[in-house]
Amino acid sequence: MTTGSPPPTVPKRSRARTFVPLGVAAWLVLEIWLLTVVAEAAGGFAVFLLLVAGTVLGAVVIKRAGRRAFKNLTETLQRQQAGQTPAQRRLGSGSGFLMLGGLLLMLPGMVSDVAGLLLLVPPVRSFLGRHAERSLERRMSGAGTGSLGDAFQQARMHRPDGKVVQGEVIRQDAPPAPGRDDGPKPPLTP
């Protein structure tokens, strides 16, 4: 009879990995169906013009949001170099949701165009910004204590099966310290 470690278990598939592909497929089917309905009602040329207009409007929105973000970054860096405290950021003044709205406008389809147009409305952007900020604060407060370096070290130390890999780093390029024996070392014990 041989003993050893049990066979590795396959990690359980997360809900996001299960439902996101299904959601994307449903969204694509809905977009294609809506485009065919609009094409039957208004004609193929009208649908083509809607798609081109959405792409052009999305490009303009992304360009303006990118310029605004670069301007805000430049102003913040200039204030910090001058020794001033950075100005308080107005809620909803970020360009992230504007860029997302422009990207959604550029994607072909009616549902993505409506979502992109909604993100261009300032009250919707500020509501989503507040919601995202509260959600992020909840997740960060629930993460516990420790630094990012601690999390990185933990991720490096543990194998996917949860076992700790112990070892010692020996640098061959460093000269030996005086009075130090660089011979073989006994294994580390927990």
State both tokens at 90. Answer: 């107005």
Nearest-angstrom CA–CA distance, 38 and 49: 12
- 164 three-class SS: strand
Q: Please count the other Cβ atoms lying within 10 Å of the Cβ belonging to residue 17.
A: 9
Nearest-angstrom CA–CA distance, 64 and 73: 14
Per-residue CA distances from 5 to 9, 159, 188 (Å): 11, 14, 20
Backbone angles phi, psi at 36, to 5 degrees: -70, -35
Tally the C-alpha atoms within 13 A of residue 88's C-alpha that lie toward its C-beta.
2
Which residues on neighbouring strands pair with residue 164, listed in sequence order?
158
Residues 131, 139: contact at Cβ < 8 Å?
no
pLDDT by residue for the chain (190 residues), tens only, comes to 556 666 667 677 788 888 999 999 999 999 999 999 999 999 999 999 999 999 999 999 999 999 998 998 898 888 888 887 766 655 445 688 999 999 999 999 999 999 999 999 999 999 998 998 888 888 877 766 666 656 655 555 555 565 666 677 777 776 666 666 666 676 766 5
State both tokens at 42. Answer: 């208004």
State both tokens at 73. Answer: 């970054």
Q: What is the pTM of this model?
A: 0.63
Nearest-angstrom CA–CA distance, 15 and 143: 20
Nearest-angstrom CA–CA distance, 65 and 118: 15
